[in-house]
Amino acid sequence: MVDKKKEIGTPVQCGEVIGLELVKRSGMRIPESAIVARHAFTRFVLGREVIIDNHEPYWRAVTVERKIFDKHLAFRAASAGAAVQADTRLLSVRKDGERVAGCMLSHHGEEMEVSPKAIVAADGVHSTLAKELGVEFFSPKDVARGVEFELVAKRDIPQAMQIFIEEEIGLGYGWIIPKGKRRANVGLGLVGTNASRRTFLEEWITGHPVVSRYFDVDKVLEVKMGDAPVPGFLGGPVRGNVLFCGDAAGQTLAFVGEGIMPSYICGGLAGKHAALLAQGKGERYEEELVENMADQLMMGAALRDALVELWASGPYDGRARALLSGAVMNELVSPDALDDVIGPMVADPLRTFRDLAKGSGMTLRVRRC
């Protein structure tokens, strides 16, 4: 296992939150030393007007310290017998037909070549291996640009992930992810905007009536930036003896961009089938991905598509878009039933939203901001 970073797990490029339903699906035990906060529910702040607390099991989560979590996974790999090398970067590949026959690496500043039987390409949204092989699994429009500050709060913050959907952000969302009572990741996932990410975030925090209640932009412990692919389910990308997984294969929950557990589950399958390839046996990477994760990835893509449609067209104003997007994300209305609520939502957004929540049968609490 090679990692171009000098320290595995740094720099952090995500919100560090993990949904517990996927943890259960993965069978993983997250080490207690990596968990910094637990969330019994998720709070949605819609259009700076409505708050919905979703207590359904799917929306329970934990925040991890990625620097500890990632290094723990690398430790487990090394303990199981893998060779692990930080500060080692892929420079180029040598191909033999469709297979990669050799990889030129920069290892602690010196060049060396390895001859792999199989490769798991888990090298991120801007995958070097994808570029070397001339493949593109998703387009730039399927990438959300993230920016986040780890901030010290002015007062105790709610111990729940908060997701902000509003006209000021557009297609994308904001978040507060607690890392304790007085510390949190506060960030934005931006789609289709070319504004300075850091400036956009600073202005959003300062001008938001809910966020500014807890945070000022003069107590920044860490600045985190990264891109997240949100294309939906792409099958099991295999090129010759290279199996792509994680962000390199777009394996995230497309409507929220969560990638830690999907990458862990899909990466485990890629590793299993890379081992089969190395032994000269047939691999079933795509088939097992379909069995284990297609439902989650396809659901995420369907919700993402509905949100894109909401923000791209239709007779909605910003208020109605925010409320209807919140209804879609909370599954109060299915993507193929959106046409049924367009009229009522345009006429009376707040009442229509309350009616959808009341009729859902879910464990929800709805109130004004």
For residue 81, what pLDDT is reported?
A: 96
Model confidence band, residue 236 (pLDDT cutoffs 50, 70, 90)? confident
CB atoms within 10 A of CB 315: 9
The answer to whether residue 146 scores a pLDDT higher than 90 is: yes
For residue 92, what pLDDT is reported?
A: 96
Cα 27 to Cα 30: distance, rounded to the nearest angstrom: 10
The answer to whether residue 193 scores a pLDDT higher than 80 is: no
User: Closest Cα partner for 365 from 158, 205, 153?
Assistant: 158
Question: pLDDT tens digits, residue range 291-308?
Answer: 999 999 999 988 988 888
Q: Is 328 strand, coil or helix? A: helix
Query: Can you list the alpha helix ranges (DSSP code H) found in the chain?
Result: 20-26, 66-79, 128-133, 197-207, 260-278, 285-292, 294-312, 318-329, 338-347, 349-358
Between residues 318 and 219, the one the model is more confident about? 219
User: Closest Cα partner for 19 from 244, 237, 262, 344?
Assistant: 262
The predicted model scores a pTM of 0.93
For residue 59, what pLDDT is reported?
A: 96
Record: fold of 32-69+140-229: D-Amino Acid Oxidase; Chain A, domain 2 (3.30.9)
Contact 51, 369 (CB under 8 A): yes
Cα 220 to Cα 151: distance, rounded to the nearest angstrom: 5
The answer to whether residue 351 scores a pLDDT higher than 80 is: yes
Model confidence band, residue 315 (pLDDT cutoffs 50, 70, 90)? confident
For residue 263, what pLDDT is reported?
A: 95
Model confidence band, residue 336 (pLDDT cutoffs 50, 70, 90)? confident
Question: pLDDT tens digits, residue range 2-59?
Answer: 999 999 999 999 999 999 999 999 999 999 999 999 999 999 999 999 999 999 999 9
Query: Can you list the alpha helix ranges (DSSP code H) found in 255-364?
Result: 260-278, 285-292, 294-312, 318-329, 338-347, 349-358
The answer to whether residue 194 scores a pLDDT higher than 90 is: no
Helix, strand, coil percent values for the chain (each to nearest 5): 35, 30, 35
**Mean per-residue pLDDT, 258-270:** 95
**Mean per-residue pLDDT, 248-258:** 91
If you average pLDDT over every residue of the chain, what do you get? 92
- Residue 2, classified by CB atoms within 10 Å of its CB into exposed (0-12), middle (13-18) or buried (19+), is middle
Record: fold of 70-135+231-297: FAD/NAD(P)-binding domain (3.50.50)
Question: pLDDT tens digits, residue range 53-95?
Answer: 999 999 999 999 999 999 999 999 999 999 999 999 999 999 9
Same fold, 32-69+140-229 and 70-135+231-297: no
For residue 308, what pLDDT is reported?
A: 86
The answer to whether residue 313 scores a pLDDT higher than 80 is: no
Q: Where are the domains of the chain?
A: 32-69+140-229, 70-135+231-297, 306-368
Strand pairing category for 88-96 and 99-107:
antiparallel
